[in-house]
Amino acid sequence: MRPLLIHEVTPNYGTIVRRTGVKGALLFRALVGCNGNVESVTIVSGPEALRQETVDAVKQWTYRPYILDGRPVPVDLTMGISESLGAGVLFEPVSPGRVRVSSGVMAGRVLYRTEPIIPTLPVDAKVSGATVLSAVIGPDGTVLELMPISGPEFLRIPVADTVRQWRYKPFLIDGTPVEVETTITLNIDFGH
């Protein structure tokens, strides 16, 4: 489990990008101390021109201290930040060639989307709910894996069948498309 970020300073890449034209994502490690303050930041990869701005911003972040066996402990986090996604968007490496990206970021990257065809319900049925799916999006933007996490049981299959058809803009790290782990939520309301 990761410590909770409670204060974030967004790197200001605007001037650097306008002056140099450099864009891209940075992968970094941050050591969060027992008090929740970031003690050190090490850039693992990414454009040289954006590194110092990233370090300066991340050093100002604050986390709720991570508690293990009733005591706060330091935590070493590996994260990413992307200039092209507004500089405040984090992603986490999961494995080589795969990152975890927030559902909000991925929702903004949908290129093709259809709506689910829901089974017929009785006229008096008042059913609503959010169906949440765990997903893996391929480097080409296709949906590779889906697993329902929560939601009304009868909505899970039609929602999953629909989401399998969606296409996303590929997520790039250093210009290379990578697989993405994310969650997808569809809210459906039948109760008018």
Quick: pLDDT tens for 44-84: 888 888 899 889 999 999 988 887 778 888 888 888 887 66
3-class SS at 116?
coil
Domain residue ranges of the chain, discontinuous segments joined by +: 5-88, 104-189
Same fold flag, 5-88 and 104-189: yes
Mean pLDDT of 82-109: 73
Q: Model pTM?
A: 0.65
Long-range contacts, stretch 101-107, CB < 8 angstroms, 24+ apart: 101/171, 101/180, 101/181, 101/182, 102/182, 103/182, 103/183, 103/184, 103/185, 105/182, 106/137, 106/168, 106/171, 106/180, 106/182, 106/184, 107/184
How many CB atoms sit inside 10 A of residue 37's CB?
A: 15
For domain 5-88, the question of CATH label 1.10.1200.10 is answered with no
CATH 2.60.120.920 holds for 104-189: no
pLDDT digits (tens, 9 = 90+) for 120-145: 654 455 566 788 899 999 999 999 99
Q: Is pLDDT at 89 greater than 50 in this prediction? A: yes
**In terms of DSSP bridges, do strands 75-82 and 71-73 run parallel, antiparallel, or are they unpaired?**
unpaired
pLDDT (0 to 100) of residue 192? 47
Residue 180 forms beta bridges with which residues? Answer: 99, 137
